[in-house]
Each structure stands twice: as structure tokens, then as C-alpha cells.
């Protein structure tokens, strides 16, 4: 909402014109000021002059020779316009002045020879001055009432009052009433406690009664429709002052009738529409919802398919306007129109919002109707429009408007108690002060002890409850004046799962991984590239109905595509080794166990390690790290899984349940994501890992020395080392302290189908130093178990 300070001054005796002070006040009232702009002319050096003589050019029929007096000197000027005679007060562009329809391409006025006569400067048209589109003739200032003989020689911008400061105010969606000069002036008047100088239109109506009929079929869609006929208007340019006002708020002047509609909308906040009365069939307006299959060609020439939700202004022959959004082409007020119908109507805001969004037709009018326009403003707005149209376009209004008002809205009462105010705002302001603040904003409060019946004016449809009134009180009182009290809660402890999540992240960072954040979307191509088998739940992603791009049309079922993509991008940018992880939610096509109304959205942890410094064991090592940090026992079970290299692939198992995978990316998949070398990856469900494991308890340590032995076994290839360790652990008895696998060896003297695995065994008793004899017995037990259970052999003997 653009608000020129000069225009605000129509409604207020401004105590200050300092734009920054006005900005400060508007912001404190909740109206953010986005910018403060100078509205200044695009010309320079143009002054007021008077045509002293005008006569024919000696060598040309279409142009005339003039003598222009500027208050000090007289100049010879040649002019091509015919809309003035001697004595006219005009805009004289002296030699050296600048003109410009737009400020970026100024035209410097010089001394020019035209058909043998030297012209010292020129007499300017409105268009040449950047004051509108009119270039039919020059700007005749005295005819427009804009300047007189006293102004000769004065700068034109000064005479026209052409420099104003415009505040661009952002109006929140609940305050449609502030989408106007009058509405903002009302806020400022409340702040300054000064009267609002309201408009009081008195159109000069003729005696003839209206012969139009207005039928409202849907009073919810249209609670009020005011229609006023004006006969015999002359379409032409609007007066300069009106054009300037419209230019200052960024609206291009078009013609008197259109300009008045816009002017009233900006001034009062009530959109106005005008029809060519002759084009309305049977002089009958019908307001109704659109029927299925109806169409309307709107003012912009587009044929619009209508929808049953749209509200229409129609006549018996069909739709003539899309209510509150855009007029129809057939009833447009053309240059030839003589009899017009002025509409000031109130529309159901959600319907306007629906139609304007559906058709992508957001306009200044729809923006106001969407927020809500005061239905009791329609009469005033129609009268103001009629007054201004007769002033600028002539014509005779019918004796009275047709005012169809099937469901009048009257002001309503809200009961406000002192407690309502105090419990939200504290002791200050007092109830009495609060009611006084409301009074300043136009809320009439009748106090009865600790309560008051507050009457809400109809332009404040956003105020219906005590809390709404409390906001009004707080706003005018000034948010700055409330105390700053720090409100302390009860406990700030993290839950065990939250603490574990932080510890886990810290550990991964400490292990060299960098946290990434990728989008929550995938494309079908990502899922295809993963080569998931048909039944894999990760294939069944939930689709977004209105995705921004097809590559972001599916909610992610795995974090890996995003993370692999990020790794590939980094490598393509020149990095050698990339270690990334992400924690985040994935989305499953299954109900959430806690709330079956929504899909399951488990948290996952994923890692991608790529480059020459990492291998698949860097990834399995991270699984071990996760287990140690969270205290959750995780096992790696070798098995060929999708996404991974079949020989370098394992499930991660927690408490007997697979919760994820770890391994090397399948090379062809890695290539599809743009990774040329080997890359390791893992992805696990976080929720089971981060569940509350309770408090851990310390185990006592022994003060006696350990006995350490190395054992090397020949083990069949099919047996994973984890099984060897498990078997050894189960058979080693109570004094086992550690089993560390430190060597794997194939070939040489090792028979085919076998490999050698060397394990360091540490034994220690809590209560004594173990003897070699005791240790030997333990090793024999281990050996027997490995031989019996795994088909292994001991190398080198005990």
C-alpha cells in the first residue's frame, strides 16, 4: 500500500511531515514500512509561462508561432498543438531544460529551427512531462486550475505540488481496512489523538429515478451491491491533480472514469467497477455463482472458464464481470460510452481469494476484497465515485443509487473484562487506560465496573473476541512500553535419546566425517538408479502432489541418493577423499506406529566415504563407532544387499533385527551417480539405536598382570571372522579380557579355500595372577571349539 504524505494530509492536519517519524509510528502500530520514496518529476527546469500571442507559422499550416512570457522575458516558440489560445498559462520548457517520459532517457530541450523559424524551447504536453499519457495537446495549466498568472516563472514541479514522499506500507492480511489512505490516516489520527477529516461526498444528482434492477441470488457471496447510473458522461483524460495522485502511488492514469474508480479505491479502500450501461441487457444486474461450463471474456481479452465457486455479475444474457476480480469485455466503458453504471459492491472474501488464485488474477481490487472490505463503506464509496465522475467527466447521475443490501452487517459487541486485559498484558495499562485506548481506535466501550461492552466498528471485521481487543490496546499503548521479564521453565534436560543423538554426531565428526544436509525429495530416476528389487519398500515413495520439479516429486525413502550426489559433486570439484554423513527423516508408505493417521517417518543415519584414503572397512569401522558411542550392540552380518557390491555388503543387526546396511557401493550404481572410484556407504535406522538403554554400570578391573598369547587359525573362507571371534569368546572362560584379530593371510603355504586368521588373546583373573598352566587349558578349550565348530586348524600348535 503506497501512501503519499501529501494525500494523507487530505485526512489529517499532520503534526509532522517527517517521513521517518511517520514511519516510526506506522511500524509501532503494526504497519511495516518497506520503503520511503521521493515522488519527483521526471523533468527539470520547466517553468510556468503565458502565451502572449499566437499566430500562424509563415511556412507551415499545422504548426503555430507563439510568444511566451515567463514573468521576466518573452520568447519565440513554435508549437504543434491547437488546444489553446493567447492568454493560456502553460508549461514552458526553456532552452536547457530536460523532459522525460521516463527519468532514464531525459530529452534536453534546445534551440531549434522549425521550418525556418527558431523556437526557443517548447510548450510541453502532459506526456512530455511524464505526467500521463495525454499528448493530444499541450498542458493548459489555467484550464486545469493548476496554475494562474501569479505563478509565471515559478518551477512547474513547485506549482503542481509535484514533490511528495511516498511510504510503501506492507499491510498484514487481517487489516483490509488499512489498504487505503483513509484507513492509514485513521490509524495515525488514533495515535496522534487528532480528528479524521473524512470525505463527505455530495454528488449533484438529477431528478430522474434509476431504471436498473439489481437481483442478488446469493447473499452470502454478495451482502451488498450499490449501483448508480450516470447519464451522458464524456470520456476523456482526468484532471491533472488526479493523474498526479495516481502517478504518485504508481497507478497509470487512463481516462476520467477509470481514474476515478482507482482513485476512490486508493482513497477509501473500496474497489469500484464501472459498466457501460447500454451494454447491460434488460437493465438488470443479477449477482450469482457461476454455472458449470460458463465462460467470460475479461477486460484483458482472455476467455475465462468459470467455475461454480466464482461469483459473477451477470445480466439476463449471461456473465458480464468476474465479481471483485476483473470486469468483462462486453460492458467495458469505452471511449464512446455515454451512460454508465457505477458499482460499489461487497464480496465474500474467501470466494474472491479462490477465484483470483485460481485464475492467477491478483489485482489491487482483489487484494482488498480478499482481506475484507467494510460493507457499510459501499454507499460512501459509490457516492464519492459518482461525485468525482461528474466532476471530471460530466453527466447527470440518477436521483439515487440502487442499494441492494440483503444482509446488512451492523456493528457487534465484544464483552471485555479487566481480567482479559490484565492476564495477557499485566498491570499496565490499567483497565481504564485500556478502554481509553480502544476509544481512540473507534471502539466504543460502555464500562460497567470490571467489564465493558465494546462496540466494534464494521470496518474491523478482524476483531471479534477479547483477545483481539487486547491486541488493539497493546498496539496503541506501544509494545516498547511493556516490561522485559525472562520467563524460566522447569527443566532443560535432554532426553536420553537426544543426548545420544548429539554424542553420536559429535563422534562421527570426531572420526573425520562432515555433516551434510540434503533435500527431502527424490526423483524417480534416483530410485531407478538404486536398482532396488520390486518389493523393496524404498521403491514405494510417497509422491508430492505439487512438486516444484520432477526430480523432487517423491519424498525420500533413503538418504543415500542425496548423499552420494553430494559426494560426487565434491569429487568433481577436485576433492580426492570425501567423508559425509547425514541424519534425517525418511518417509515410508506405512502408518506411523504412534499416530496411524500419518505415514511413518523414521530417522536415519547415512554415510558415504569415497576416495583413495578410504575403503569398505572405514565404513564398517564407523558401525563399530556407532555401537560404542550409543551403547547399542550392533553386528555386521555379511550378505548381498541391493545398492551394494555383492561381495562387500552386510546387514547391520541390532538385537537380532536388521536395521540397516553397510558396504561398498555397487560399482555400476556408483558410476550412475558420477562416482568413478570405489565408495563405501552405510545407512541405518536411528530410532532403535537411540532408544533409552538405561544407565550403564561400571565393571571392576583387575589389579593382576595379564597373560597374552597369539593364536593363528586356518579357517575355511566361508566362515566370517566375526564367527571365529564369537566362537573363541564363548569358549574362553571367565578370565578372557580381550580378543584382537590382527592378521589375515592367504596364499603361500595356506591351502586353497582357507585363510589364516591371527588373534591375540588376553587373559586376566580378578583375584590372582594366572599361571601358564591355567592359560594353556583355556587355549586348549578355544582350539577345541574352533576346530569343532568352524572346521578350523591351529597353525603352529599351542
Subset of residues 495 to 514 that bind other proteins, contact rule: CB under 8 A: 495, 498, 502, 505-506, 508-514
Choose the binding region for other proteins from 114-122, 125-133, 283-291, 472-480 (rule: CB under 8 A): 472-480
Nearer to other proteins, 62 or 490 (CB): 490
CB of 517 to other proteins, least distance (A): 5
Nearer to other proteins, 100 or 523 (CB): 523
Nearer to other proteins, 370 or 387 (CB): 370
Contact pick of 370, 526, 664, 683 for other proteins (by CB under 8 A): 370
Nearer to other proteins, 285 or 567 (CB): 567
Pull the grid cell for residue 476. 496503541
Contact pick of 215, 601, 638, 762 for other proteins (by CB under 8 A): 601
If binding is defined by CB under 8 A, does position 590 make contact with other proteins? Answer: yes
Contact pick of 201, 206, 599, 642 for other proteins (by CB under 8 A): 599
362: nearest Cα among 329, 320, 313, 326: 326
If binding is defined by CB under 8 A, does position 474 make contact with other proteins? Answer: yes
Choose the binding region for other proteins from 115-123, 451-459, 479-487, 685-693 (rule: CB under 8 A): 479-487
d(CA 152, CA 89): 8
If binding is defined by CB under 8 A, does position 308 make contact with other proteins? Answer: no
CB of 319 to other proteins, least distance (A): 22
The gap from C-alpha 688 to its chain's centroid, in whole angstroms, comes to 37
If binding is defined by CB under 8 A, does position 546 make contact with other proteins? Answer: yes
Choose the binding region for other proteins from 1-9, 80-88, 313-321, 490-498 (rule: CB under 8 A): 490-498
Nearer to other proteins, 70 or 364 (CB): 364
d(CA 265, CA 343): 12
Contact pick of 589, 638, 691, 721 for other proteins (by CB under 8 A): 589
Pull the grid cell for residue 136. 493530444
Nearer to other proteins, 68 or 470 (CB): 470
Beta strands at 318-322 and 326-327: parallel, antiparallel or unpaired: antiparallel
Choose the binding region for other proteins from 80-88, 317-325, 564-572, 649-657 (rule: CB under 8 A): 564-572
Nearer to other proteins, 207 or 574 (CB): 574
CB of 608 to other proteins, least distance (A): 11
Pull the grid cell for residue 326. 476483473
Sorted by sequence, the CB contacts under 8 Å of residue 730 that are 6+ apart come out as: 785
If binding is defined by CB under 8 A, does position 363 make contact with other proteins? Answer: no
Give the Cβ contact number of residue 562 at 10 Å. 23
- Kindly identify the residues of this chain, within the stretch 244-303, that bind other proteins according to CB under 8 A: none
d(CA 349, CA 371): 6
Contact pick of 597, 612, 700, 749 for other proteins (by CB under 8 A): 597
Choose the binding region for other proteins from 9-17, 26-34, 135-143, 256-264 (rule: CB under 8 A): 26-34
CB of 24 to other proteins, least distance (A): 10
Sorted by sequence, the CB contacts under 8 Å of residue 97 that are 6+ apart come out as: 43, 44, 45, 46, 108, 109, 121
Q: 666: which DSSP letter? A: P
- The strand pairing partners of 759, in sequence order, are 711, 741
- Phi and psi at 42, nearest 5°, equal -95, 10
Peptide bond into 429 cis (omega under 30): yes
Helix axes 181-192, 19-28, angle to 10 degrees: 90
- Kindly identify the residues of this chain, within the stretch 623-682, that bind other proteins according to CB under 8 A: none
Sorted by sequence, the CB contacts under 8 Å of residue 53 that are 6+ apart come out as: 66, 67, 86
Nearer to other proteins, 113 or 545 (CB): 545
161: nearest Cα among 5, 265, 11: 5
d(CA 605, CA 661): 11
Nearer to other proteins, 202 or 490 (CB): 490
- The strand pairing partners of 763, in sequence order, are 707, 736
Nearer to other proteins, 118 or 494 (CB): 494
Nearer to other proteins, 193 or 546 (CB): 546
Choose the binding region for other proteins from 248-256, 463-471, 695-703, 749-757 (rule: CB under 8 A): 463-471
Could you tell me if 746 and 755 are in contact, meaning their C-beta atoms sit under 8 angstroms apart?
Answer: yes
Nearer to other proteins, 167 or 470 (CB): 470
Nearer to other proteins, 272 or 463 (CB): 463
Nearer to other proteins, 137 or 523 (CB): 523
Could you tell me if 363 and 326 are in contact, meaning their C-beta atoms sit under 8 angstroms apart?
Answer: yes
Contact pick of 13, 35, 163, 173 for other proteins (by CB under 8 A): 173
358: nearest Cα among 319, 296, 304: 304
Question: 460 in helix, strand or coil?
Answer: coil
- Kindly identify the residues of this chain, within the stretch 29-48, that bind other proteins according to CB under 8 A: 29-30, 32
- Phi and psi at 307, nearest 5°, equal -130, 145
CB of 413 to other proteins, least distance (A): 18
Radius of gyration of the chain (CA): 42
CB of 357 to other proteins, least distance (A): 6
CB of 759 to other proteins, least distance (A): 27
Interface characters, 55-94, with other proteins (x: CB under 8 A) = ----------------------------------------
CB of 251 to other proteins, least distance (A): 24
If binding is defined by CB under 8 A, does position 542 make contact with other proteins? Answer: yes
Q: For the range 10-14, what are the long-range contacts, defined as Cβ-Cβ under 8 Å and sequence gap of 24 or more?
A: 10/181, 10/185, 10/197, 10/267, 11/181, 11/182, 11/185, 11/186, 11/189, 11/196, 11/197, 11/198, 12/185, 12/188, 12/189, 12/192, 12/194, 12/196, 12/197, 13/194, 13/197, 14/188
Contact pick of 467, 525, 766, 777 for other proteins (by CB under 8 A): 467
Could you tell me if 588 and 668 are in contact, meaning their C-beta atoms sit under 8 angstroms apart?
Answer: no
Nearer to other proteins, 510 or 753 (CB): 510
Q: How many residues bind other proteins (CB under 8 A)?
A: 91
If binding is defined by CB under 8 A, does position 576 make contact with other proteins? Answer: no
Contact pick of 209, 278, 446, 494 for other proteins (by CB under 8 A): 494
If binding is defined by CB under 8 A, does position 189 make contact with other proteins? Answer: no
d(CA 507, CA 626): 8
If binding is defined by CB under 8 A, does position 490 make contact with other proteins? Answer: yes
Contact pick of 87, 232, 350, 674 for other proteins (by CB under 8 A): 350
- The strand pairing partners of 680, in sequence order, are 609, 664
Nearer to other proteins, 392 or 570 (CB): 570
- Kindly identify the residues of this chain, within the stretch 410-449, that bind other proteins according to CB under 8 A: 423-426
CB of 323 to other proteins, least distance (A): 16
Question: 769 in helix, strand or coil?
Answer: coil
Could you tell me if 309 and 316 are in contact, meaning their C-beta atoms sit under 8 angstroms apart?
Answer: no
Contact pick of 266, 443, 587, 673 for other proteins (by CB under 8 A): 587
Q: 335 in the Ramachandran plot: left (φ > 0), alpha (ψ -120 to 50) or beta?
A: alpha
- Kindly identify the residues of this chain, within the stretch 511-530, that bind other proteins according to CB under 8 A: 511-521
CB of 358 to other proteins, least distance (A): 9
**CA dist 305 → 118, 178, 297, 308 (Å):** 60, 33, 9, 10
Amino acid at each position: 500500500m503506497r501512501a503519499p504524505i501529501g494525500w494523507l494530509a487530505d485526512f489529517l492536519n499532520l503534526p509532522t511531515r517527517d517521513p521517518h517519524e511517520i514511519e516510526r509510528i506506522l511500524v509501532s502500530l503494526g504497519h511495516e514500512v518497506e520503503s520511503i520514496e521521493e515522488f519527483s518529476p521526471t523533468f527539470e527546469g520547466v517553468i510556468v509561462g503565458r502565451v502572449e500571442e499566437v499566430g500562424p507559422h509563415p511556412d507551415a499550416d499545422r504548426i503555430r508561432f507563439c510568444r511566451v512570457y515567463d514573468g521576466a522575458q518573452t520568447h519565440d516558440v513554435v508549437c504543434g498543438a491547437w488546444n489553446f489560445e493567447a492568454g493560456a498559462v502553460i508549461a514552458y520548457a526553456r532552452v536547457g531544460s530536460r523532459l522525460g517520459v521516463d527519468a532514464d532517457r531525459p530529452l534536453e530541450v534546445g534551440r531549434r529551427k522549425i521550418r525556418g523559424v527558431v523556437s526557443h524551447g517548447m510548450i510541453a504536453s502532459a506526456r512530455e512531462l511524464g505526467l500521463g499519457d495525454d499528448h493530444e495537446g499541450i498542458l493548459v495549466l489555467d484550464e486545469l486550475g493548476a496554475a494562474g498568472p501569479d505563478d509565471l516563472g515559478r518551477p512547474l514541479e513547485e506549482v503542481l505540488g509535484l514533490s511528495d514522499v511516498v511510504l510503501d506500507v506492507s499491510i498484514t492480511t487481517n487489516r483490509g481496512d488499512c489498504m487505503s489512505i483513509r484507513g492509514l490516516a485513521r490509524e495515525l489520527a488514533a495515535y496522534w489523538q487528532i480528528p479524521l477529516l473524512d470525505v463527505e461526498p455530495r454528488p449533484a444528482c438529477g431528478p430522474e429515478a434509476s431504471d436498473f434492477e439489481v437481483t442478488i441470488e446469493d447473499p452470502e457471496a454478495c451482502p451488498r451491491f450499490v449501483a448508480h447510473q450516470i447519464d451522458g458522461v464524456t470520456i476523456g483524460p482526468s484532471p491533472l491533480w488526479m493523474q498526479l495522485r495516481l502517478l504518485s502511488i504508481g497507478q497509470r492514469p487512463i481516462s476520467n472514469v477509470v481514474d476515478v474508480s482507482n482513485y476512490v479505491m486508493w482513497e477509501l479502500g473500496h474497489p469500484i467497477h464501472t459498466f457501460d450501461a447500454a451494454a447491460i441487457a434488460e437493465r438488470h444486474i443479477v449477482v450469482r455463482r457461476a454455472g458449470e461450463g460458463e465462460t467470460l471474456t475479461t477486460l484483458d481479452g482472455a476467455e475465462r472458464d468459470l467455475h461454480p465457486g466464482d461469483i459473477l455479475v451477470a445480466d439476463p444474457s449471461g456473465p458480464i464481470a468476474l465479481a471483485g476480480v476483473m470486469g468483462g469485455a462486453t460492458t467495458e466503458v469505452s471511449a464512446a460510452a455515454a451512460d454508465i453504471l457505477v458499482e460499489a459492491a461487497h464480496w465474500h472474501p474467501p470466494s474472491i481469494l479462490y477465484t483470483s488464485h485460481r485464475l492467477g488474477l491478483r489485482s489491487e481490487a482483489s487484494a482488498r476484497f480478499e482481506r475484507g472490505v467494510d460493507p457499510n463503506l459501499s454507499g460512501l464509496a459509490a457516492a464519492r465515485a459518482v461525485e468525482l465522475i461528474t466532476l471530471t467527466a460530466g453527466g447527470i447521475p440518477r436521483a439515487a443509487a440502487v442499494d441492494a443490501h440483503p444482509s446488512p452487517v451492523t456493528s457487534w459487541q465484544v464483552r471485555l473484562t479487566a481480567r482479559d486485559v490484565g492476564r495477557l498484558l499485566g498491570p499496565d495499562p490499567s483497565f481504564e487506560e485500556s478502554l481509553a485506548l480502544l476509544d481512540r481506535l473507534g471502539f466504543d466501550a460502555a464500562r460497567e465496573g470490571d467489564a465493558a461492552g465494546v462496540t466494534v466498528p464494521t470496518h474491523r471485521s478482524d476483531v471479534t473476541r477479547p483477545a483481539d481487543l487486547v491486541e488493539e490496546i497493546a498496539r496503541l499503548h506501544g509494545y516498547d512500553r511493556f516490561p522485559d521479564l525472562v520467563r524460566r521453565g522447569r527443566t532443560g534436560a535432554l532426553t536420553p535419546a537426544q543426548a545420544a543423538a548429539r554424542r553420536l554426531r559429535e563422534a562421527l565428526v570426531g572420526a573425520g566425517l562432515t555433516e551434510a544436509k540434503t533435500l527431502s525429495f527424490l526423483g524417480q530416476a534416483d530410485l531407478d538408479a538404486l536398482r532396488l528389487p520390486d518389493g523393496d519398500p524404498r521403491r514405494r515413495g510417497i509422491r508430492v502432489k505439487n512438486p516444484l520439479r520432477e526430480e523432487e516429486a517423491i519424498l525420500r525413502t533413503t538418504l543415500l541418493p542425496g548423499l552420494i550426489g553430494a559426494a560426487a559433486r565434491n569429487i568433481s570439484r577436485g576433492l580426492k577423499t570425501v567423508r559425509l554423513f547425514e541424519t534425517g527423516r525418511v518417509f515410508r508408505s506405512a502408518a506411523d506406529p504412534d499416530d496411524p493417521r500419518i505415514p511413518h517417518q523414521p530417522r536415519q543415519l547415512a554415510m558415504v566415504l569415497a576416495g583413495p584414503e578410504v575403503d569398505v572397512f572405514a565404513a564398517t569401522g564407523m558401525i563399530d563407532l556407532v555401537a560404542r558411542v550409543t551403547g547399542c550392540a550392533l553386528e555386521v552380518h555379511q550378505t548381498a544387499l541391493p545398492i551394494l557390491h555383492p561381495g562387500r555388503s552386510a546387514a547391520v543387526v541390532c538385537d537380532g533385527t536388521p536395521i540397516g546396511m553397510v558396504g561398498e557401493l555397487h560399482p555400476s550404481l556408483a558410476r550412475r551417480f558420477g562416482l568413478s572410484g570405489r565408495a563405501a556407504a552405510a545407512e541405518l535406522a536411528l530410532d532403535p539405536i537411540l532408544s533409552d538403554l538405561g544407565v550403564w554400570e561400571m565393571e571392576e578391573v583387575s589389579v593382576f598382570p595379564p597373560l597374552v598369547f597369539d593364536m593363528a587359525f586356518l579357517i575355511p573362507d566361508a566362515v566370517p571372522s566375526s564367527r571365529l571371534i564369537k566362537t573363541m569368546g564363548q569358549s574362553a572362560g571367565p578370565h578372557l579380557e580381550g580378543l584382537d584379530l590382527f592378521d589375515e593371510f592367504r596364499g603361500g603355504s595356506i591351502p586353497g579355500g582357507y585363510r589364516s586368521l591371527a588373534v591375540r588373546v588376553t587373559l586376566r583373573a580378578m583375584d590372582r595372577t594366572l599361571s601358564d598352566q591355567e592359560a594353556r587349558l583355556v587355549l586348549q578349550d578355544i582350539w577345541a571349539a574352533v576346530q569343532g565348530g568352524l572346521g578350523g586348524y591351529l597353525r603352529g600348535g599351542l
